[in-house]
Structure 1
Amino acid sequence: MSDASFDDGREAPLNLGALSAEDLQVVASLAQDAVFPVTEISWRPTEHRFALLLNRFRWEDKDSAEKRGRPYERVQSVLVVDHVLSVASQGLDRRDSDLILSLLSLTFEPGTDGDGHIVLTLAGDGVIRLAVEAIEITLRDVTRPYQAPSGRAPQHDET
């Protein structure tokens, strides 16, 4: 009998929160390369809440999948940003219900007193910019993982 390893741990859905720029970097790394239809963007001004239903690549499982020779996975996740004062976007047509977007990065541009902008950079020069009173973001998996349709991990050019 051998000691348990990290790979033997129980799989559990992600449920993460971010309350600082440092926390946001963790959420951003897990949400990178998520894809979602433009129809899954929700902005509720009276609740000061912005949300996306993402098909997230499971970066946290990539090494295990490679090591065990099993397919890469995606999972549907909800990304919620609270304390949102306004939303602006460019480079995407919300009226095109067939439009699929890909999230490249999620960053914070600080303001003067904890406020600032959360910027979602999308493939194809699209950007969504959220003016926020403070950083409060959650990323929560809402389905079981499924095999990534492409069968590949997302690739990034090293520059």
Structure 2
Amino acid sequence: MTDLKLIALDSEDLEVLSAHVQDAVVRVADMGYARGDRRFALLMNRFDWESGQGRRDKGLRKRAALHFDGVQSVATNGFDPAAPEGVLNLLAISFHTVDGPAGIIELSFAGGGTVRLGVECLEARLSDLGAAWAASATPAHSLD
């Protein structure tokens, strides 16, 4: 089992990265904006979709880090960023061009929560951190 390392520099890259972090569990305390470095980072327990497909077990979770560079602004909605023990389920990450190459990166969470990052360009990096364990359940979504 190899550790995943991805970089996203355009919307197509970000779609691949988003697929790998779908259903990741993120603690609010594990997200932060380093204004001086213009970086937004988060730690997560991502569901390892590539290893869990077609297996009888419930799959794996892996500890991973994701960060975005060139961040100029951060806005949150639908959850309390001051609640450090809050837990979010990451559903998708998207990019919307505003004044190319600048745009908005949106992290969408279950329940309607969002983090919107104003960026000068799209630059995201995802890295597994080595820890992996058996998932308690395989994520499933209603198609309604």
Q: How big is the alpha-carbon RMSD for the aligned residues of Structure 1 and Structure 2?
A: 1.2
Write the mapping of 1:104-123 to structure 2, written as runs, cut at 5 A.
104-123=91-110
Which residue number corresponds to residue 6 of structure 2? 16
What letter corresponds to residue 82 of structure 1 in structure 2?
A: D
Deviation at 1:97, TM superposition (A): 2.1
Report the 3-state secondary structure (helix = DSSP H, G, I; strand = E; otherwise coil) of the residue aligned with 1:106. Answer: strand
Write the mapping of 1:91-102 to structure 2, written as runs, cut at 5 A.
91-102=78-89
TM-score, with length taken from structure 2: 0.95
Report the 3-state secondary structure (helix = DSSP H, G, I; strand = E; otherwise coil) of the residue aligned with 1:96. Answer: coil
TM-score, with length taken from structure 1: 0.86
Report the 3-state secondary structure (helix = DSSP H, G, I; strand = E; otherwise coil) of the residue aligned with 1:124. Answer: helix
Q: Whose Rg is larger?
A: 1
The answer to whether the aligner puts 1:81 opposite 2:68 as a matched pair is: yes
Report the 3-state secondary structure (helix = DSSP H, G, I; strand = E; otherwise coil) of the residue aligned with 2:83. Answer: coil
**Cα deviation 1:3-35 (Å, max 9, x = unaligned):** xxxxxxxx2100110000000000000001100
Which residue number corresponds to residue 125 of structure 1? 112
- 1:70 and 1:113 mapped to 2: Cα distance? 44
Which residue number corresponds to residue 138 of structure 1? 125
Q: List runs of 5+ in structure 1 lacking aligned partners.
A: 1-10
The answer to whether the aligner puts 1:157 opposite 2:142 as a matched pair is: yes
The runs of 4+ residues in structure 1 deviating greater than 4 Å are: none
> Where is the strand percentage greater, Structure 1 or Structure 2?
2
Q: List runs of 5+ in structure 2 lacking aligned partners.
A: none
Count of residue pairs the alignment pairs up: 144
**Cα deviation 1:102-121 (Å, max 9, x = unaligned):** 10110001112211000001
- 2:29 and 2:84 mapped to 1: Cα distance? 6
